[in-house]
A and B are shown apart, each in its own frame.
Chain A
Amino acid sequence: MNATNHNAIEVTKLKKQFGDFVAVKEVSFTVETGEIFGLLGPNGAGKTTLIRMMTTLTPPTSGTAEVGGHDVVSDADGVRHAIGVIPQALTSDPELTARENMMIHAKLYGLTSAQRTQLIPQLLESVGLSEFTDKLVGSFSGGMRRRLEIARGLVHSPKIMFLDEPTTGLDPVSRTAVWEMITKLKESAGLTILLTTHYMDEADKLCDRIAIVDHGQLVALDTPTKLKDSVPAADVVEAEFDNPPADWDTTLGKLSGVASVADHDGIRHISTTSGPVTVRELMDMARDRGVNVRRVSVQGTTLDNVFLYYTGRQLRDAASDTVKRDMSHLYK
Chain B
Amino acid sequence: MKPQRIFAIIERDMRKFLRSPALMMSSMIFPLMQLIVLGYAFGGKIKGIKIAVVDDDRTVYSRDLRERFGAIVAGPQTMQVENYNSVSDAIVDLRAGFVRAVVYIPVDYSRRVDQGNRPRIAFIEDNTDNFVTSEILGRMQDLVKDINQGLNPFQPGQRLTVPLPRLNPLVDLEVVELYPYIEYIKYLLSGSIAMSVFIVAMIGGGITFIDDKSRGLHEGYLVTPITKSELILGLIFSGAIKGLMAGTTITIIGGLIAGIDRLWDPVRLLYLMAVLATTSVAMISFMFLLMVRVSDPLVPRAMFGVLNTLLYFPSGAIYPVEGFPVWLRWISYIDPFTYAVHALKALLLKNAGFSAIYSDILILSGFSAVLVILSVAFFKRQI
Contacts and interface: CB of A to CB of B under 8 A. Distances in A.
Contacts of B219: 57, 87, 89, 91
Interface in A101-118: 105, 108-110
Given A52-B383, A58-B383, A87 B223 contact: yes
Nearest to A48: B383
B225 interface: yes
Interface residues of A, number: 24
Contact of B382 (A57, A80, A87): A57
Contacts of A89: 215-216, 219
Interface string A40-66: 000000000000100111110000000
A83 interface: yes
A86 to B, nearest CB: 9
Contact of B216 (A85, A91, A109, A110): A91
Given A87-B216, A90-B216, A91-B216, A55 B223 contact: yes
A77 B381 CA distance: 12
Contact of A81 (B225, B382, B383): B225
Contacts of B218: 91
A52 B380 CA distance: 14
B36 interface: no
Interface in B217-264: 217-226
Contacts of B222: 57
Interface in A262-313: none
Given A80-B223, A85-B223, A57 B217 contact: no
Nearest to A92: B220
Nearest to B234: A108
A134 interface: no
A58 B382 contact: yes
Nearest to A57: B383
Interface string B30-57: 0000000000000000000000000000
Given A91-B219, A93-B217, A105 B224 contact: yes
Interface in B183-242: 215-226
Contacts of A110: 225
A81 B222 CA distance: 12
A81 B216 CA distance: 21
Nearest to B222: A57
A172 B371 CA distance: 49
A149 B382 CA distance: 20
A108 B221 contact: yes
Nearest to B224: A108
A83 B222 CA distance: 12
Interface residues of B, number: 14
A57 B383 CA distance: 6
A83 B217 contact: no
A88 B221 CA distance: 14
Contacts of A52: 383
A324 B224 CA distance: 31
Contact of A56 (B217, B220, B223): B223
B127 to A, nearest CB: 48
Given A87-B220, A91-B219, A80 B225 contact: yes
Contacts of A149: 220
Most chain B beta-carbon neighbours within 10 Å: one of A88, A93, A108, A109: A108
A23 B215 CA distance: 23
A70 to B, nearest CB: 12
Nearest to B218: A91
Nearest to A83: B223
B176 to A, nearest CB: 56
Contacts of A83: 223
Interface in B115-145: none
Nearest to B383: A57
Given A58-B383, A87-B220, A92-B220, A77 B225 contact: yes
Contacts of B216: 87-91
A281 to B, nearest CB: 55
Contacts of B223: 55-57, 80, 83, 85, 87
A85 B219 CA distance: 9
Contacts of B224: 80, 105, 108-109
A34 B225 CA distance: 23
Contact of A59 (B215, B217, B220, B382): B382
Contacts of A77: 225
Contact of A91 (B220, B225, B382): B220
Most chain A beta-carbon neighbours within 10 Å: one of B215, B216, B220: B220
Contacts of B226: 108
Contacts of B382: 56-59
A58 B381 CA distance: 9
B225 A108 contact: yes
Contacts of A152: 220
Nearest to B230: A108
A159 to B, nearest CB: 14
Nearest to A105: B224
A298 B221 CA distance: 48
B242 to A, nearest CB: 14
A203 to B, nearest CB: 23
B21 to A, nearest CB: 14
Contacts of A57: 219, 222-223, 382-383
Given A59-B382, A91-B216, A93-B217, 16 more contacts: A55-B223, A57-B222, A57-B382, A57-B383, A80-B225, A83-B223, A87-B219, A89-B215, A89-B219, A91-B217, A92-B217, A105-B224, A108-B224, A108-B225, A108-B226, A149-B220
22 contacts: A56-B223, A56-B382, A57-B382, A59-B382, A77-B225, A80-B224, A81-B225, A83-B223, A87-B216, A87-B220, A87-B223, A89-B219, A91-B217, A91-B218, A91-B220, A93-B217, A105-B224, A108-B221, A108-B226, A109-B224, A109-B225, A149-B220
Interface of B: 215-226, 382-383
A-B pairs with the 9 shortest C-beta distances?
Answer: A91-B220, A89-B216, A85-B223, A108-B224, A80-B225, A87-B219, A57-B383, A91-B219, A108-B226
